[in-house]
A and B are shown apart, each in its own frame.
Chain A
Amino acid sequence: MHNVRQLVADFGWPRIIIFIFLVLLFVGAPIVRVRIDSSLADVLNRFGQNGLFVLAMVPMVQSGCGLNFGLSIGIIAGLLGATLSVQLGLHGFLGFFGALLFSIPFAVLFGWLYGKLLNKVKGEEMTIAMYVGFAGVMFMCIMWIILPYTNPTMIWGYAGKGLRTTITVEGYWLRILNDFLAVRIGEFFVFPTGLLLFVALLCSLLWVFMKTKTGTAMTAVGSNPDYARAAGISIDRMRTISVIISTMLGAAGILVYEQSFGFIQLYTAPLAMPLSAVAAILIGGASVNKASMVNVMVGAFLFQGLLTMTPSVINSALQTDMSEVLRIIISNGMILYALTRKLKVAT
């Protein structure tokens, strides 16, 4: 009994309640004629699509930079890689990994500058990060029009220049990870093996990194900067490294998202991503200065699960089409809940 209670305390009531609610939704789904197998496939898919954004929160939280509200910066790096890959007409795995390769230098550069900035505003990182994200996205709104892309699938048909808001990756690298080794069971359920493998790979890379000497130093900086400094660690350097890693994961994240979703979304689209990633990791049980891989997994699964299931089940139950309204209410409601619960910065 004592063990059970301890387990519950460790896992946390919010997560248990959300989990029970999710299970109830699955139980209730057949009653309102929503197929469980296709729902499950959806949940897995969305988990894979968004998992890396949630993972990208970990390094900055651990180094004491707080939650990465400026994840859009990494997403922009990923978008640059993606558009470059399409521009060069790369297909298949070459296209996807080419995009990844192109986006990395951008991510490193942007992350370095972003990290420099955050080092100058210690204590206010999260507010500043949010505005860095906004500013970066808005700046790129201009650049997407000006940059000299020429591939006809990407540019506005009527003007002959400037990138479209939505670009399909069909014919390039659509579902390249999702379909890799995918297992189809029945008519509606597909297990996206490649997608989940890729996410798992990056998760374990980061997990190993956090166990290295540098990763240990990074965690110590986040835990107590003065202690780390007295132990001869350069606080600014560790923080910058964490921001660069977070930005790179954001870039990889958007590429994974695009190949599964099917479209490259430009202009203001990146703004939608950071908040849900922040909410997911908070729901997963992380705090502003401590986050683990378990938090990432649990958070991404619960957040995306709820986001997938609630609209479809309730929609069918009420016999109306409110899915979009519900989705907005639920996702923002969860973000609000998560932020109010966890934004207290421990001093």
Chain B
Amino acid sequence: MEQGTRLLSFDHVSKDFYGNKVLHDVSFDLGRGEILGLVGENGAGKTTLMRILFGMPLIAGTGGYEGRICIDGEEVRFKSPFDALDAGIGMVQQEFSLIPGFTTTENILLNRESMRPSLMNDVFGDRMSTLDRPDMRRRAQAAISKLGVALDPDMLVSEMPVGHKQFTEIAREINREKTRILVLDEPTAVLTESEADVLIKALRGLARQGIAMIFISHRLHEVVSVADRIVVLRDGMLVKDTPVAGVSVRDIASWMVGREVSSDRAEKAEERRLGAEMLSVEHLWVDMPGETVRDMSFSVRQGEIFGIGGLAGQGKLGIPNGIMGLFPAGGTVRLGEKLVPLDNPRAALQMGMGFVSEDRRGVGLLLDESLEWNIAFTAMQIHEKYLLPLLGGLIKLRDEKSMRKLTEEYVGMLDIKCQSPRQKAKELSGGNQQKVCLAKAFAIKPGLLFVSEPTRGIDVGAKRLVLDALRRSNREYGTTIVMVSSELEELRSICDRVAIVDEGRIAGILPPHAEPSEFGLFMAGERLAHAEEARGA
């Protein structure tokens, strides 16, 4: 594709925080109408680079940066994000900054509304103008059609599916007349695959209209499909700047981690011996907002790794949350012979089930406490471990020493990168936090472990470690694992069977080596007759 002239360029940009170098001499250009995929592991420096571009106060407050940033060949040094906006740079963030009670139009035009002068203007000035709603609607519609998606200008943001929220956010940025550069930070993280496809199409359309984009994402295949050029950062250094043509996802992944990613499906030939039926679920329903489970029945055998996949919002996350008692649920769930009481997290834990929540920061961790607490807490409360009985067991004190020993054990085993077991959980990176969540679940020595989205939002290297830890726990300790994930490839690489969930029901259960198209059919809602057969397998 023919690219326009150079629009934005980073020229030998370096940045350190208190002597800790996070960016090393980074230089690259962005042409007019070009989409640049910016990728790197967590902590590689992507966010810092964007903060520098936007003139976030944090950067100036920590000593500024070295090097130059030029727009149209002239050096710019923004003092605040407002300056960046004025210069025509728009930002679409991972978290939505929309007002839920306002309509699409109102959100797109917030603070740039069309106004109609009124009588009061003479006395009170512009603040008393009335809104020109028809014109606002027209302008919003123009922005939406420029984006090329179907978006109702009068819908309230609170009633929108997440995909539409993301589109509204982008529409707001391109509504600014001057916007020439758009930075998208993980725009697809909350979208389903089909929504992401629409988004990518819309972005390509925008690029044809001359808007340059920096696209940051962990989903490498999206980067490959949307970007013209790819810039890879590793540990603050630019390791690759290449046109996307001919580059595969595997190439990018290896540039990011700096080591060859070995094949995920190496040990498929291994003979698997599974025990008797361990978990049986019949007609389960779970009332989890956004992930409703309507009527699910399946069973898992002892020693098995059972995968549950499907698109977002179809109910796969509701299964572990319902069985572990975190959301209202009903139906019959049996662990071995025993009936699992639903709506009772304590009983579920005491029966020997563990859970790694998909909501790492919300449910999985005590962010303000030490790693020791995070890892030992559940085992302490459920199994009375890591306690020192005093006065004949009348008082049970925390046994800090054995908590530390346990933590050090898991820090070594899962390669958790931390300064000490006393470090607070919130100070770790996403991948290491996920390992802490796993350690917490392993520490209660569960017979059956639910893991929910174990690799979401973490980098490639950490992903492998997490999956390896799960596999090892399964092979060495015989832990039965039920793994829920949005990433089908990951499920196929580790699971013995994969169930696909659609509209709160199991659409079908397949062996991992089945054709991808079969999984795709189930996800698309094609419930086939042999789903019934597979369940018994």
Chain A interface residues toward B at CB < 8 A: 208, 211-213, 216-217, 219-220, 223-224, 226-227, 229-234, 289-290
Contacts and interface: CB of A to CB of B under 8 A. Distances in A.
B142 to A, nearest CB: 37
Contact of B398 (A213, A227, A233): A213
B397 A220 contact: no
Given A211-B398, A213-B381, A232-B346, A220 B366 contact: yes
Contacts of A230: 324, 326, 345, 355, 357, 363-364, 378
Given A226-B362, A230-B357, A216 B377 contact: yes
Contacts of B196: none
B100 to A, nearest CB: 17
Interface of B: 324, 326, 345-350, 355, 357, 359, 362-369, 373, 377-378, 380-382, 384, 387, 395-398
B367 A232 contact: no
B367 to A, nearest CB: 7
A212 B397 contact: yes
Nearest to A222: B368
A229 B397 CA distance: 21
Contacts of A223: 366-369
B398 A212 contact: yes
Nearest to B357: A230
Contacts of B368: 223-224, 289-290
8 contacts: A211-B397, A213-B384, A223-B366, A223-B369, A224-B362, A224-B367, A227-B364, A231-B381
Best-buried of B326, B346, B365, B368 by chain A (most CB within 10 Å): B368
Given A211-B397, A211-B398, A212-B397, A229 B345 contact: yes
Contacts of A219: 369
B58 to A, nearest CB: 19
A235 B384 CA distance: 18
Given A216-B377, A220-B373, A232 B397 contact: no
A217 B395 CA distance: 14
Contacts of A233: 346, 381
A285 to B, nearest CB: 15
Given A230-B324, A230-B345, 4 more contacts: A213-B381, A230-B355, A231-B378, A232-B382
Contacts of B347: 232
Nearest to A229: B345
A92 B350 CA distance: 51
A198 to B, nearest CB: 21
Given A223-B368, A231-B378, A213 B324 contact: no
Contacts of B349: 231-232
Contacts of B381: 213, 216-217, 231-233
Contact of A213 (B355, B362, B366, B387): B387
Nearest to A219: B369
Nearest to B379: A231
A234 B380 CA distance: 15
Contacts of B384: 213
Contacts of B369: 219-220, 223
Best-buried of B326, B348, B369 by chain A (most CB within 10 Å): B369
Contacts of A234: 346
* A-B CB proximity, top 4 nearest: A232-B346, A231-B378, A226-B363, A223-B366
Contacts of A227: 363-366, 377
Contacts of B373: 216, 220
